[in-house]
Amino acid sequence: MTEPHLSGGAPAANLHEPAVVVTGSAAGLAQEIHAGSHRLTADELVAVGGTDTGPSPYELLLAALGSCTSMTVTMYARRKGWPLERVKVSLRHFKIHASDCAECETREGMLDRIERDIQFTGSLTTEQRSRLLEIANKCPVHRTLTSEINIRTRAV
């Protein structure tokens, strides 16, 4: 069995302690998120029954991918001594018909598509920018989202 890891690939300090706890009331859709010492709120738009007090679950997913992407390319550029000054990652999520996706293996039904635009600020060469785009696809969250995921759910 593979050892669970937290962000960045480090093994979890205590495998029995949850990394994130989410609590919500059946009265609404707003969720209180506890991630270590941090507190966040997730919710849905008013149009779908929420109160819009925080990002939606898909917005949080995009935020995870965008922040991991930015951190990964920043660390790589720093290690290489490249003149990267700023990274801006813009993301969108939507559903597409599988038949409209030439590069996808699935041919039927609907698929999730995430479009990610990355803007690098700094005096980078064309080759450096190209390499940073390659590195973006190696961020841990990207790798998780594009790999087989095994989620075990149980009532406690």
Q: What is the pTM of this model?
A: 0.83
Give the per-residue pLDDT at 13. Answer: 56
Cα distance between residue 132 and residue 153, in whole Å? 36
Q: What is the pLDDT of residue 41?
A: 96
Write the pLDDT tens digit of every residue in 27-61.
899 999 999 999 999 999 999 999 999 999 999 99
- Give mean pLDDT, residues 66-85: 98
Which residues make Cβ contacts (< 8 Å) with residue 23, sequence separation at least 6? 31, 32, 34
pLDDT of residue 2: 42
Q: What domains appear along the chain, each with residue ranges and CATH number?
A: 1-54 (no CATH), 56-147 (3.30.300.20)
pLDDT band at 102 (very low <50, low <70, confident <90, very high): confident
Of 6-10, 16-20, 123-127, 148-152, the poorest mean pLDDT is in 6-10
pLDDT for the residue numbered 144: 96
Longest Cα–Cα distance of the chain, Å, equals 54
Q: Would you say 150 and 80 are in contact if contact means Cβ atoms under 8 Å apart? A: no
